Amino acid sequence: MRRCLVVGTAMFGCALMGAVESRAQSAILNLPRASQHARILQRIGLVDITIDYHRPLVAGRKIFGVLQAYGEVWRAGANENTTIEFSDDVTVEGHPVAKGVYGLHMIPREGPWTVILSRNATSWGSFTYDAAEDALRFDVTPRTIATQEALTYDFDTPTADAVVVAMRWEQRAVPFTVRADTPAISARSLRTQLRGRAQFEWQPWMEAANYLLAEHLDANEAVKDAEQSIAVEDRFENEITLSQALTTLGRGDEASAARKKALALGSQPQIHAFARALQAQGRQGEAIDLFRENMRKDPSSWVAHNEAARLAVVKGDYDAAVREMTLATSASPEALRGQHADLVRRLKNHEDINK
């Protein structure tokens, strides 16, 4: 590996690994570089992962094992340190890594490569790399790929809590997995968010409670959040959320009281929409019970006829279901008649509209 000869502020004879600059470089002026700057970002859950790097070209050269010798630390890009930044704590290939910015280096080999996260993220290349500054190093097996002319970093197969970071250059792809504890990070973030303007609105408290319940986190905290939402404005939605949180904690009598209050507060369309959401979650029994209770509010409404049709489907009585849904179609608002007409068509074909 050749070093740069520095005279004053100019750099000569600088065959920098991964970025042989064919044009003059200036320490003062902002001029185009042969290895161009790139930055990519991927969010997983609430964690942002940012990679900042420069993109050398193969340019007809043999890179790994020749221009970049095997067994030597390489900047994993060109020019200044390639860096990777995590906006919150993560794991990288199963190893815990604290939030922050890290210099990203690699050691190419014929077999597994070593990937290094350095606490020093402000150097030029790997020339001043110091193993004492390692935050993490681990080995991964590279893949052979079709020739990649410009070095690139990609975020592959992102999910709610993980993503595969892959460096691709020449005929090598070097992947490693970053994971975040999305539910825990989100729950912690909620506490911070609810100290701001959101605390004065009923929706954020209810949304926080619903998230905690959906992710099977702290049901006691969900109860507190639902109660705070109710304190801001008592509504069908937050009373139902409170009922669900209390049910999770096994506090059945209190849950029943909250549910009864919710049904008293909710309009027929609200309760119908909530029951349909339960069906979408596969909670058919709860939804059917709500339909039965909701019909009593106004048995002649389009909502009641719609729900009567759904109850008839449960019994397998499609003739009755068609009659009830036809009545719902006639009584429904103009904007909903097309949907109801389609439901009538499906019922005539004996489709289960509760699924």
pLDDT, tens digit, for every residue of 165-182? Answer: 999 999 999 999 999 999
CB atoms within 10 A of CB 191: 11
Question: What distance in Å separates the CA atoms of residue 238 and residue 206, rounded to the nearest whole number?
Answer: 6
Residue type, 343: L
Give me the percent of the chain exceeding a pLDDT of 70. 92
pLDDT, tens digit (0-9, with 9 covering 90-100), for 243-285: 999 999 999 999 999 999 999 999 999 999 999 998 998 989 9
Residue 78 predicted with pLDDT over 70: yes
**What phi, psi does 283 have (nearest 5°)?**
-95, 65
- The architecture that CATH gives domain 181-266 is Alpha Horseshoe (1.25)
**What is the per-residue pLDDT for 261?**
95
pTM for the whole thing?
0.75
Q: Please name which of 108, 165, 116, 93 lies closest in space to residue 142, comparing C-alpha atoms.
A: 108
The model's confidence at residue 15, banded by pLDDT at 50, 70 and 90, is: very low
141: Cα within 13 Å, side-chain hemisphere: 0
pLDDT, tens digit (0-9, with 9 covering 90-100), for 212-227: 999 999 999 999 999 9
First-to-last alpha carbon distance for the chain, in angstroms, is 65
Residue 175's region, left for phi above 0, alpha for psi from -120 to 50, else beta, is beta
Going by the DSSP 8-state scheme, the letter that residue 64 receives in this structure is: B
Spatial contact of 278 and 290, defined as CB atoms under 8 Å apart: yes
**What is the per-residue pLDDT for 26?**
60
Helix 236-248 vs helix 202-214: angle between axes, to the nearest 10 degrees? 30
Spatial contact of 41 and 49, defined as CB atoms under 8 Å apart: yes
Residue 68 predicted with pLDDT over 80: yes
Residue 54 predicted with pLDDT over 60: yes
Q: What is the mean pLDDT of the chain?
A: 91
Q: In the chain, which segments carry CATH 1.25.40.10?
A: 181-266
Residue 16 predicted with pLDDT over 90: no
**What is the per-residue pLDDT for 34?**
83
Question: What distance in Å separates the CA atoms of residue 129 and residue 81, rounded to the nearest whole number?
Answer: 10
Question: What distance in Å separates the CA atoms of residue 46 and residue 234, rounded to the nearest whole number?
Answer: 30
pLDDT, tens digit (0-9, with 9 covering 90-100), for 116-161: 999 999 998 889 999 999 999 999 999 999 999 999 999 999 999 9
Q: Please name which of 188, 215, 217, 190 lies closest in space to residue 204, comparing C-alpha atoms.
A: 190
**How do 143-156 and 162-179 pair as beta strands?**
antiparallel
